Structure 1
Amino acid sequence: MKSQTIRRWSTVHTWTSLICTVFLLMLAVTGLPLIFHHKIDHLLGNTPEFKQMPANTPSLSLQQLVLAAEAHRPGEVMQYFGWDDDTPNAVTAIMATTAETEPNASHTFVLDARTGEALEKASANGGFMMIMLRLHTDMYAGPWGMLFLGAMGLLFVAAIVSGVVLYAPFMRRLKFASVRQTKSSRVRWLDLHNLIGVVTLTWALVVGVTGVFNACADLVITAWRNDSLAAMIAPYRDAPPLLSRAPATRLLDIAEAAVPGMEADFIAFPGTRFSSEHHYAVFMKGASHLTSHLLTPVLIDASDLHVTAIVDRPWYMDALLMSQPLHFGDYGGMPMKVLWAVLDVLTIIVLGSGVYLWWVRRRATTLVRVDTSQAQTAR
């Protein structure tokens, strides 16, 4: 009975690993540069260079920046404004032909908050890093590609769990971290495969589970829109279309007064999927490393700028917001990124060695069958 159980777990481990390995290798390889995307953008010259100005140079108002963005992309509408702590004088602007345009068809650029000068951000609209990001998130297949990669993530988690089950009886025969150097190449690779797999176990589970959450991002956001956001904008359901909107000048002051102690992360303009046809949505974040990834939306009526709601953040949105930075090691600065990269490389070795071990075993089994068949024929 015990041997049958082990064989079943071995079958689960073999096939879940084989089915997802090619895609996991692609994710591991593309994920490696994404861990250091800020540094790589700088090396490739994709980081906008701002003019040198006195430190006390004041910033333009939000409405002045909106007008500067619209002048830079005439005929398009504003979708989002965002801020990055690493570049304090920059405001990221995202525009498209319509407010509902999906993200991959929008155009991203940077505004100098002091002058309104528009600077192109090549890596956000194409180039090497965008190719890596699209391959890593949806393989250029949109929502279906994201869900497919999420399914591969689930298989990866199943492969990890089944590998742990198989490793337990294996370790009873050997000391931990033993690599039998005097044995065949296949045995040595098996020992290395098991050893590296155990060392990277916790990290692989974390990355696998958070990857599944990230792959379901569109579903999670849709659920949030249909649940929390829909309840907050229900009074506007039968309201006439918004013909004009109030200037965005005071949006940040209004939002900061509504949720003291928090600061703006990004603004969703009316008509986008993170707001409504009648609202600005200012997404506020906390000051600590943890709370800076948990966003609280403040809905502001776009006609007269009064706060209509502070939208509830359900648990599934918290899970998504926490999983995104954890997936790429964005919580602990450069040391954590380096650790993530090392573990990523080790995972590539585990995946590659797993394919090698399966191929060697399959070839050996085929040779035994051929020899047996020839022996029977000779008789």
Structure 2
Amino acid sequence: MALNRKRWFQVHGWLSLPVWAVFCFVCITGTIAVISHELTWLTNRDARAENPRGLPPQPLPALVEAVERVERVVPGAEIRQVMVFEPYLVTAVGFAMPGKPPAIAYVNPYTAEVQAINHGLTFIGFMRALHGWLLFPWHHSWSVGYYLVAAMSIVTLGALVTGVVIYKRFWRAYTRPQLRPAAGTRVLLGDLHRLAGAWSLWFLLVIGATGLWYLVQAVLWHSGTHVWEDPAPVALHELPLTSGEPPARIALVQALGAAQRALPEMQPRWVSFPEHNRAHYGIAGSGDNILYDAQSWRALVNPWTGEVDAVRTPAAMNALQTVAHIADPLHYGTFGGLWTKAIWFVFGLLLSAMSVTGFLIWRKRTFGAVRKPAPRHAAARVAAAEGARP
């Protein structure tokens, strides 16, 4: 039994040591990504949705019209998408101008004031990219960085299983937590590591399981397998016939009205505008189940007829589609708002600390064993052997 436990300990150590730096970096960036919206609010005044007069939220078409009236948005700019965030953040309206890179307008959702125009990568987008694929380039539908980060789920689950095996009666950490600062650095590090690990078992399971899904998702993307079928384009016979004048699409307010009639429980959080004549308005949002992400309820609205050509709801999802839409809220702890984000942030810090203390424990064990002098009887045998040589 002692030999088996020793092997389990070796497996537990080697699961983290070869990739310690990557695992620690992924843990830290993920912890920051959990509160990236709140850090943006804290550090960027233009991103705050201040509402001192207690105004109700403006409809999304009014926010889009506000962007179109801004002098810095040149005529001919094309609105691409609208993204609704937390009530204390601005609404982001993405657009493209001829001859310029895409930009994002920060619009106060209560006053319809355009507070800033961002022409680069936002902090939220940067942290998600850094944590999600380490800023590695994408080759069509796959990235080495995405695979590398997703593979950390195996390390997480492996450390969970081996840690439970080698830490006998781990449940005692809940009733009789033990910290021995007077027993030396190595003992204290071990106590901290075991205590944090025992209290973080549920978190390790959630992060490891959702991370494993991201690994499966990477394989699906790479192989060209789609969780959702690509939507059918607008039928040719539904395209308007014109005599040289560009056809006029229905207004956003009409598209939103059609989507809300088809999905009255949906709270719109994301709108994509048609990219070409046969594309739809894509209107997605959240519903009455907090575990699903903000694109689980979705309606595709024909931009010429105003009809809803397709809808998506959790009730109609298969198992794979369900996992795809609940993985992000569980992985980042966004399903319960600020409270769950705070919990995920704290346990993310614990997981990051465990990766550091685990490395320090291994370092002290390894280098301590190397520097430890050999026993006298062993030294005597070595000397005798040396003397017996011709």
TM-score by length of 2: 0.75
Equivalent-residue separation in structure 1 for 2:224 and 2:262 (angstroms): 21
Gaps of 5+ in 1: 99-104
Q: Equivalent residue for 1:26? A: 25
Q: Is the 8 A contact 1:25 1:348 kept in 2?
A: yes
Please state how far the C-alpha of 1:116 moved relative to its aligned partner.
5.7
Q: Is the 8 A contact 2:82 2:94 kept in 1?
A: yes
1:86 has 2:111 as partner: no
Paired positions, count: 364
Q: Equivalent residue for 1:136? A: 131
Moved more, 6-15 or 45-54: 45-54
Equivalent-residue separation in structure 2 for 1:112 and 1:306 (angstroms): 30
Equivalent-residue separation in structure 1 for 2:219 and 2:229 (angstroms): 14
SS in structure 2 of the partner of residue 141 of structure 1: coil
Please state how far the C-alpha of 1:322 moved relative to its aligned partner.
1.9
Deviations 1:265-288 (A, max 9, x none): 21122249xxx9421121132145
Q: Equivalent residue for 2:114? A: 118
Moved more, 363-372 or 351-360: 363-372
Equivalent-residue separation in structure 1 for 2:347 and 2:57 (angstroms): 44
Greater helix fraction, Structure 1 or Structure 2: 1
Equivalent-residue separation in structure 2 for 1:286 and 1:128 (angstroms): 27
Equivalent-residue separation in structure 2 for 1:360 and 1:338 (angstroms): 33
Q: Equivalent residue for 1:42? A: 41
Gap change, CA 1:336 and 1:206, over 3 Å in 2: same
Please state how far the C-alpha of 1:314 moved relative to its aligned partner.
3.7
Please state how far the C-alpha of 1:214 moved relative to its aligned partner.
4.7
1:191 has 2:177 as partner: no
Gap change, CA 1:219 and 1:87, over 3 Å in 2: farther
Deviations 1:74-121 (A, max 9, x none): 565433212235159x542123479xxxxxx85332235677643336
Gap change, CA 1:91 and 1:354, over 3 Å in 2: closer
Gaps of 5+ in 2: 138-142
Q: Equivalent residue for 2:304? A: 303
Q: Which residue identity is paired with 1:322? A: I
Equivalent-residue separation in structure 1 for 2:170 and 2:43 (angstroms): 47
Equivalent-residue separation in structure 1 for 2:87 and 2:126 (angstroms): 23
Equivalent-residue separation in structure 2 for 1:127 and 1:152 (angstroms): 26
Q: Is the 8 A contact 2:160 2:201 kept in 1?
A: yes
Q: Equivalent residue for 1:376? A: 382
Equivalent-residue separation in structure 2 for 1:220 and 1:343 (angstroms): 30
Q: Is the 8 A contact 1:284 1:298 kept in 2?
A: no
Q: Which residue identity is paired with 2:185? A: S
Aligned-residue identity in percent: 21
Q: Is the 8 A contact 2:266 2:297 kept in 1?
A: no
Q: Equivalent residue for 1:161? A: 161
Deviations 1:100-150 (A, max 9, x none): xxxxx853322356776433365x944655543332121111433122100
Q: Equivalent residue for 1:101? A: none
Deviations 1:350-369 (A, max 9, x none): 11111011111211332358
1:354 has 2:358 as partner: yes
Equivalent-residue separation in structure 1 for 2:18 and 2:74 (angstroms): 45
Q: Equivalent residue for 2:140? A: none
Q: Equivalent residue for 2:200? A: 200
Q: Is the 8 A contact 2:95 2:104 kept in 1?
A: yes
Q: Which residue identity is paired with 2:132? A: T
Gap change, CA 1:157 and 1:308, over 3 Å in 2: same
Q: Which residue identity is paired with 1:315? A: A
SS in structure 1 of the partner of residue 265 of structure 2: coil
Deviations 1:271-328 (A, max 9, x none): 49xxx94211211321453456462221112222211121354433332332212223
Residue correspondence of structure 1 range 194-233 to structure 2 within 5 A: 194-214=194-214, 226=226, 228-230=228-230, 232-233=231-232
Q: Is the 8 A contact 2:58 2:110 kept in 1?
A: yes
Q: Equivalent residue for 1:107? A: 103
